[in-house]
A = this chain, B = another copy of it.
Amino acid sequence: MNTIIRRPTRQIRLGNVAIGGDAPISIQSMLCVPTANVEAAARQIAQLEKAGCEIIRFSVMNQADADAIPALKRVAAVPLVADIHFDHKLALAALEAGIDGLRINPGNIGSREKVAEVVRLAAERGVPIRIGVNSGSLPKELVAKYGVSAKAMVEAALSHVRILEELDFTAIKISVKASQLPLMLESYRALSREVDYPLHLGITEAGTLLAGSIKSAMALGILLNEGIGDTIRVSLTADPLQEVMVARRILQNLGLRRGLNIISCPTCGRTRINLMRLADEVENALAEFADRPLTVAVMGCVVNGPGEAREADFGLAGGDGEGLVFARGEIVSKVPEDELVPELLRLIREHFNHE
Protein backbone atom coordinates (compact mmCIF):
# COMPACT_ATOMS: atom_id res chain seq x y z
CA MET A 1 0.00 0.00 0.00
CA ASN A 2 0.88 3.66 -0.30
CA THR A 3 2.81 4.10 2.94
CA ILE A 4 3.72 7.65 3.85
CA ILE A 5 7.00 8.00 5.69
CA ARG A 6 6.98 11.37 7.37
CA ARG A 7 10.17 13.38 7.25
CA PRO A 8 11.60 13.56 10.80
CA THR A 9 11.10 17.01 12.31
CA ARG A 10 11.59 18.46 15.77
CA GLN A 11 8.46 18.71 17.83
CA ILE A 12 7.24 22.03 19.15
CA ARG A 13 4.25 22.76 21.34
CA LEU A 14 1.62 25.35 20.49
CA GLY A 15 -0.65 25.54 23.53
CA ASN A 16 -2.08 22.04 23.95
CA VAL A 17 -1.17 20.94 20.40
CA ALA A 18 2.10 19.22 19.47
CA ILE A 19 3.43 19.99 15.98
CA GLY A 20 6.15 18.00 14.24
CA GLY A 21 7.84 14.73 15.14
CA ASP A 22 5.22 12.00 15.41
CA ALA A 23 2.36 14.38 16.26
CA PRO A 24 -0.71 14.04 14.03
CA ILE A 25 -0.83 16.61 11.23
CA SER A 26 -2.98 19.45 12.59
CA ILE A 27 -5.55 21.59 10.80
CA GLN A 28 -5.49 25.39 10.99
CA SER A 29 -7.72 28.18 9.80
CA MET A 30 -8.01 31.94 10.23
CA LEU A 31 -10.81 34.21 11.41
CA CYS A 32 -12.38 36.35 8.69
CA VAL A 33 -14.07 38.76 11.11
CA PRO A 34 -12.26 41.66 12.80
CA THR A 35 -10.42 40.33 15.88
CA ALA A 36 -11.50 43.33 17.95
CA ASN A 37 -15.15 42.37 17.41
CA VAL A 38 -15.04 39.93 20.33
CA GLU A 39 -18.57 38.67 19.91
CA ALA A 40 -18.18 37.83 16.20
CA ALA A 41 -14.68 36.44 16.73
CA ALA A 42 -15.79 34.22 19.61
CA ARG A 43 -18.71 32.93 17.54
CA GLN A 44 -16.42 32.05 14.66
CA ILE A 45 -13.92 30.37 16.98
CA ALA A 46 -16.73 28.15 18.32
CA GLN A 47 -17.87 27.27 14.79
CA LEU A 48 -14.34 26.48 13.65
CA GLU A 49 -13.72 24.25 16.67
CA LYS A 50 -16.95 22.38 16.01
CA ALA A 51 -15.87 21.85 12.40
CA GLY A 52 -12.60 20.29 13.58
CA CYS A 53 -10.19 23.22 13.42
CA GLU A 54 -7.28 22.57 15.79
CA ILE A 55 -5.38 25.87 15.63
CA ILE A 56 -6.99 29.28 15.01
CA ARG A 57 -5.13 32.35 13.78
CA PHE A 58 -6.28 35.95 13.55
CA SER A 59 -4.81 39.30 12.53
CA VAL A 60 -3.54 41.60 15.24
CA MET A 61 -3.33 44.89 13.40
CA ASN A 62 -3.73 47.29 16.28
CA GLN A 63 -4.05 47.56 20.05
CA ALA A 64 -7.81 46.95 19.92
CA ASP A 65 -7.14 43.55 18.34
CA ALA A 66 -4.56 42.72 21.00
CA ASP A 67 -7.00 43.80 23.71
CA ALA A 68 -9.48 41.18 22.48
CA ILE A 69 -7.08 38.30 23.12
CA PRO A 70 -7.87 37.62 26.81
CA ALA A 71 -11.60 37.36 26.06
CA LEU A 72 -10.96 35.06 23.09
CA LYS A 73 -8.59 32.90 25.14
CA ARG A 74 -11.37 32.41 27.70
CA VAL A 75 -13.76 30.95 25.12
CA ALA A 76 -11.29 29.03 22.92
CA ALA A 77 -10.46 25.37 23.53
CA VAL A 78 -7.81 25.30 20.78
CA PRO A 79 -4.58 27.33 20.64
CA LEU A 80 -4.77 30.86 19.23
CA VAL A 81 -2.11 32.43 17.00
CA ALA A 82 -1.66 36.16 16.45
CA ASP A 83 -0.67 37.22 12.94
CA ILE A 84 1.50 40.31 13.22
CA HIS A 85 3.23 42.42 10.60
CA PHE A 86 6.23 44.57 11.52
CA ASP A 87 4.99 46.00 14.84
CA HIS A 88 6.97 44.60 17.77
CA LYS A 89 4.75 46.40 20.29
CA LEU A 90 1.75 44.40 19.07
CA ALA A 91 3.76 41.20 19.40
CA LEU A 92 4.61 42.08 22.99
CA ALA A 93 0.98 43.01 23.68
CA ALA A 94 -0.25 39.70 22.24
CA LEU A 95 2.24 37.77 24.37
CA GLU A 96 1.24 39.69 27.50
CA ALA A 97 -2.39 38.99 26.66
CA GLY A 98 -1.77 35.23 26.71
CA ILE A 99 -1.55 34.33 23.02
CA ASP A 100 -0.40 30.74 22.29
CA GLY A 101 1.58 31.39 19.12
CA LEU A 102 2.95 34.22 16.99
CA ARG A 103 3.23 34.47 13.26
CA ILE A 104 5.82 37.16 12.70
CA ASN A 105 8.94 37.46 10.58
CA PRO A 106 11.74 38.63 12.87
CA GLY A 107 13.67 40.20 10.01
CA ASN A 108 10.80 42.63 9.49
CA ILE A 109 10.36 43.82 13.08
CA GLY A 110 13.13 46.40 13.10
CA SER A 111 16.16 46.79 15.39
CA ARG A 112 17.91 43.86 16.97
CA GLU A 113 16.78 45.09 20.38
CA LYS A 114 13.12 44.99 19.38
CA VAL A 115 13.51 41.46 18.04
CA ALA A 116 15.33 40.36 21.18
CA GLU A 117 12.60 41.80 23.36
CA VAL A 118 9.86 39.87 21.51
CA VAL A 119 11.88 36.65 21.43
CA ARG A 120 12.75 36.88 25.13
CA LEU A 121 9.10 37.24 26.11
CA ALA A 122 8.01 34.45 23.70
CA ALA A 123 10.64 32.14 25.25
CA GLU A 124 9.51 33.05 28.77
CA ARG A 125 5.91 32.26 27.90
CA GLY A 126 6.74 29.11 25.96
CA VAL A 127 5.21 30.58 22.81
CA PRO A 128 6.44 29.33 19.40
CA ILE A 129 6.94 31.59 16.39
CA ARG A 130 5.94 30.81 12.82
CA ILE A 131 8.09 32.34 10.15
CA GLY A 132 5.83 32.90 7.16
CA VAL A 133 7.41 33.63 3.79
CA ASN A 134 5.13 34.39 0.82
CA SER A 135 6.17 34.48 -2.83
CA GLY A 136 4.27 37.76 -3.22
CA SER A 137 6.26 39.63 -0.57
CA LEU A 138 9.83 38.41 -1.02
CA PRO A 139 12.58 40.94 -0.22
CA LYS A 140 13.55 42.91 -3.33
CA GLU A 141 17.25 42.03 -3.06
CA LEU A 142 16.50 38.28 -3.05
CA VAL A 143 14.21 38.62 -6.06
CA ALA A 144 16.92 40.60 -7.85
CA LYS A 145 19.45 37.86 -7.06
CA TYR A 146 17.40 34.67 -7.57
CA GLY A 147 14.12 35.76 -9.17
CA VAL A 148 10.83 34.63 -7.63
CA SER A 149 12.17 31.13 -7.03
CA ALA A 150 12.45 28.36 -4.45
CA LYS A 151 16.01 29.56 -3.81
CA ALA A 152 14.75 33.05 -2.90
CA MET A 153 11.93 31.60 -0.75
CA VAL A 154 14.28 29.36 1.21
CA GLU A 155 16.91 32.11 1.61
CA ALA A 156 14.23 34.45 2.96
CA ALA A 157 13.04 31.83 5.45
CA LEU A 158 16.56 30.97 6.57
CA SER A 159 17.43 34.63 7.15
CA HIS A 160 14.58 34.81 9.67
CA VAL A 161 15.55 31.44 11.19
CA ARG A 162 19.12 32.64 11.76
CA ILE A 163 17.93 35.68 13.69
CA LEU A 164 15.93 33.44 16.05
CA GLU A 165 18.69 30.86 16.39
CA GLU A 166 21.22 33.54 17.29
CA LEU A 167 18.90 34.39 20.15
CA ASP A 168 18.80 30.69 21.13
CA PHE A 169 15.15 30.47 20.14
CA THR A 170 14.20 27.25 18.35
CA ALA A 171 10.44 26.88 18.96
CA ILE A 172 10.02 27.61 15.28
CA LYS A 173 7.75 26.48 12.49
CA ILE A 174 8.03 27.72 8.94
CA SER A 175 5.86 28.24 5.89
CA VAL A 176 6.97 29.14 2.35
CA LYS A 177 3.67 29.72 0.57
CA ALA A 178 3.15 30.57 -3.09
CA SER A 179 0.10 30.71 -5.31
CA GLN A 180 1.75 28.69 -8.09
CA LEU A 181 1.92 24.98 -7.41
CA PRO A 182 5.38 24.23 -8.89
CA LEU A 183 7.03 27.08 -6.95
CA MET A 184 5.26 26.07 -3.75
CA LEU A 185 6.25 22.41 -4.08
CA GLU A 186 9.88 23.15 -4.83
CA SER A 187 10.15 25.71 -2.02
CA TYR A 188 8.91 23.30 0.63
CA ARG A 189 11.06 20.47 -0.67
CA ALA A 190 14.18 22.67 -0.70
CA LEU A 191 13.40 24.02 2.76
CA SER A 192 12.88 20.53 4.15
CA ARG A 193 16.39 19.61 3.01
CA GLU A 194 17.84 22.59 4.93
CA VAL A 195 16.09 22.49 8.31
CA ASP A 196 14.26 20.04 10.55
CA TYR A 197 11.80 22.56 12.00
CA PRO A 198 8.17 21.56 11.53
CA LEU A 199 6.58 22.94 8.37
CA HIS A 200 3.22 24.65 7.98
CA LEU A 201 1.88 23.92 4.49
CA GLY A 202 -0.32 26.17 2.41
CA ILE A 203 -1.01 27.70 -0.98
CA THR A 204 -1.65 31.47 -0.94
CA GLU A 205 -4.31 33.17 -3.02
CA ALA A 206 -5.59 29.69 -3.89
CA GLY A 207 -8.89 31.03 -5.21
CA THR A 208 -12.59 30.36 -4.85
CA LEU A 209 -14.11 27.34 -3.08
CA LEU A 210 -13.83 24.78 -5.86
CA ALA A 211 -10.77 26.09 -7.72
CA GLY A 212 -8.91 26.79 -4.47
CA SER A 213 -9.77 23.37 -3.07
CA ILE A 214 -8.47 21.65 -6.19
CA LYS A 215 -5.20 23.58 -6.07
CA SER A 216 -4.73 23.10 -2.32
CA ALA A 217 -5.63 19.40 -2.49
CA MET A 218 -2.98 18.87 -5.15
CA ALA A 219 -0.26 20.91 -3.44
CA LEU A 220 -0.83 19.56 0.05
CA GLY A 221 -1.55 16.07 -1.27
CA ILE A 222 1.73 15.89 -3.19
CA LEU A 223 3.85 17.17 -0.30
CA LEU A 224 2.11 15.15 2.44
CA ASN A 225 2.46 12.07 0.26
CA GLU A 226 6.22 12.78 0.17
CA GLY A 227 6.23 12.99 3.97
CA ILE A 228 6.55 16.79 4.07
CA GLY A 229 4.26 18.86 6.29
CA ASP A 230 3.36 18.93 9.98
CA THR A 231 0.40 21.30 10.06
CA ILE A 232 -1.78 22.55 7.21
CA ARG A 233 -3.99 25.43 6.27
CA VAL A 234 -6.22 25.45 3.22
CA SER A 235 -6.66 29.13 2.25
CA LEU A 236 -9.83 29.78 0.31
CA THR A 237 -11.72 32.87 -0.74
CA ALA A 238 -14.64 31.26 1.10
CA ASP A 239 -16.01 30.60 4.58
CA PRO A 240 -13.19 29.37 6.89
CA LEU A 241 -15.44 26.47 7.95
CA GLN A 242 -15.02 25.16 4.44
CA GLU A 243 -11.25 25.51 4.73
CA VAL A 244 -11.40 23.12 7.69
CA MET A 245 -13.67 20.66 5.87
CA VAL A 246 -11.38 20.61 2.83
CA ALA A 247 -8.28 20.19 5.01
CA ARG A 248 -9.86 17.23 6.76
CA ARG A 249 -10.75 15.58 3.47
CA ILE A 250 -7.17 15.97 2.28
CA LEU A 251 -5.83 14.20 5.36
CA GLN A 252 -8.53 11.52 5.23
CA ASN A 253 -7.95 10.73 1.58
CA LEU A 254 -4.30 9.99 2.29
CA GLY A 255 -5.18 7.84 5.29
CA LEU A 256 -3.51 10.39 7.60
CA ARG A 257 -6.75 10.82 9.52
CA ARG A 258 -9.80 8.63 10.03
CA GLY A 259 -13.24 9.87 9.19
CA LEU A 260 -16.37 9.57 7.12
CA ASN A 261 -15.75 8.64 3.49
CA ILE A 262 -18.67 8.95 1.08
CA ILE A 263 -18.19 7.26 -2.26
CA SER A 264 -20.63 7.71 -5.11
CA CYS A 265 -20.48 6.66 -8.73
CA PRO A 266 -20.45 9.13 -11.59
CA THR A 267 -23.75 9.55 -13.34
CA CYS A 268 -23.72 7.68 -16.61
CA GLY A 269 -26.13 6.47 -19.25
CA ARG A 270 -26.97 3.51 -17.00
CA THR A 271 -28.30 5.69 -14.17
CA ARG A 272 -32.09 5.74 -13.75
CA ILE A 273 -32.24 7.76 -10.54
CA ASN A 274 -31.40 11.30 -9.40
CA LEU A 275 -27.98 10.33 -8.10
CA MET A 276 -26.61 13.85 -7.62
CA ARG A 277 -29.50 14.78 -5.36
CA LEU A 278 -29.21 11.51 -3.40
CA ALA A 279 -25.45 11.88 -2.92
CA ASP A 280 -25.82 15.48 -1.75
CA GLU A 281 -28.59 14.49 0.64
CA VAL A 282 -26.54 11.68 2.16
CA GLU A 283 -23.46 13.90 2.44
CA ASN A 284 -25.42 16.62 4.24
CA ALA A 285 -27.29 14.22 6.50
CA LEU A 286 -24.07 12.54 7.63
CA ALA A 287 -22.18 15.76 8.43
CA GLU A 288 -22.59 14.98 12.13
CA PHE A 289 -20.52 11.81 11.66
CA ALA A 290 -17.65 13.56 9.83
CA ASP A 291 -15.02 12.27 12.26
CA ARG A 292 -16.28 8.65 12.33
CA PRO A 293 -14.29 6.04 10.44
CA LEU A 294 -17.08 4.93 8.12
CA THR A 295 -17.39 4.42 4.38
CA VAL A 296 -20.82 5.03 2.86
CA ALA A 297 -21.64 4.34 -0.81
CA VAL A 298 -24.26 6.04 -2.97
CA MET A 299 -24.60 3.96 -6.12
CA GLY A 300 -26.72 4.45 -9.20
CA CYS A 301 -27.24 0.85 -10.20
CA VAL A 302 -28.98 -1.95 -8.29
CA VAL A 303 -27.25 -4.65 -10.33
CA ASN A 304 -23.61 -3.66 -9.78
CA GLY A 305 -23.94 -1.19 -6.90
CA PRO A 306 -23.82 -3.49 -3.87
CA GLY A 307 -20.98 -5.56 -5.35
CA GLU A 308 -18.87 -2.64 -6.57
CA ALA A 309 -19.25 -0.96 -3.20
CA ARG A 310 -18.68 -4.06 -1.12
CA GLU A 311 -15.83 -2.27 0.70
CA ALA A 312 -18.36 0.26 2.04
CA ASP A 313 -19.76 -0.20 5.54
CA PHE A 314 -23.18 0.96 4.37
CA GLY A 315 -24.66 1.99 1.07
CA LEU A 316 -27.65 2.52 -1.11
CA ALA A 317 -28.20 1.66 -4.75
CA GLY A 318 -30.93 3.38 -6.69
CA GLY A 319 -32.98 1.71 -9.40
CA ASP A 320 -36.12 2.64 -11.26
CA GLY A 321 -38.23 4.31 -8.58
CA GLU A 322 -36.95 1.98 -5.90
CA GLY A 323 -33.62 0.88 -4.53
CA LEU A 324 -31.56 -1.22 -2.17
CA VAL A 325 -29.92 -0.45 1.13
CA PHE A 326 -26.91 -2.63 1.86
CA ALA A 327 -24.19 -3.19 4.45
CA ARG A 328 -20.77 -4.59 3.45
CA GLY A 329 -22.13 -5.83 0.13
CA GLU A 330 -25.13 -7.65 1.66
CA ILE A 331 -28.59 -6.36 0.84
CA VAL A 332 -30.48 -5.28 3.98
CA SER A 333 -33.73 -3.97 2.48
CA LYS A 334 -35.52 -2.91 -0.69
CA VAL A 335 -37.48 0.34 -0.42
CA PRO A 336 -39.12 3.00 -2.63
CA GLU A 337 -36.75 5.73 -3.86
CA ASP A 338 -37.92 8.40 -1.41
CA GLU A 339 -37.27 6.11 1.57
CA LEU A 340 -33.71 5.22 0.55
CA VAL A 341 -31.92 7.98 2.43
CA PRO A 342 -34.03 7.74 5.63
CA GLU A 343 -33.54 3.95 5.68
CA LEU A 344 -29.76 4.32 5.20
CA LEU A 345 -29.53 6.93 7.96
CA ARG A 346 -31.63 4.77 10.29
CA LEU A 347 -29.16 1.89 9.83
CA ILE A 348 -26.12 4.09 10.38
CA ARG A 349 -27.57 5.72 13.51
CA GLU A 350 -28.46 2.28 14.86
CA HIS A 351 -24.89 1.16 14.19
CA PHE A 352 -23.43 4.04 16.20
CA ASN A 353 -25.94 3.57 19.02
CA HIS A 354 -24.79 -0.03 19.43
CA GLU A 355 -21.10 0.88 19.51
Contact = CB atoms under 8 A, between A and B. Distances in A.
Interface in A225-254: 225, 235-238, 240, 243, 246, 249-250, 253-254
Contacts of A1: 149-150, 182-183, 186
A31 interface: yes
A304 interface: yes
Interface of A is mostly: mixed
A63 interface: no
Contact of A59 (B238, B261, B268): B268
A175 interface: no
Contacts of A180: 261, 311
B263 A205 contact: yes
A279 B2 contact: no
A263 B59 contact: no
Interface string A160-191: 00000000000000000001111101100000
B217 A276 contact: no
A261 B181 CA distance: 11
Contacts of A204: 263, 265-266, 308
Interface of A: 1-2, 30-35, 58-59, 61, 65, 83, 134-137, 148-150, 179-183, 185-186, 204-215, 217-219, 221-222, 225, 235-238, 240, 243, 246, 249-250, 253-255, 261-271, 275-276, 279-280, 283, 297-299, 304, 307-311
8 contacts: A136-B308, A137-B304, A182-B255, A204-B265, A208-B264, A214-B250, A217-B218, A218-B218
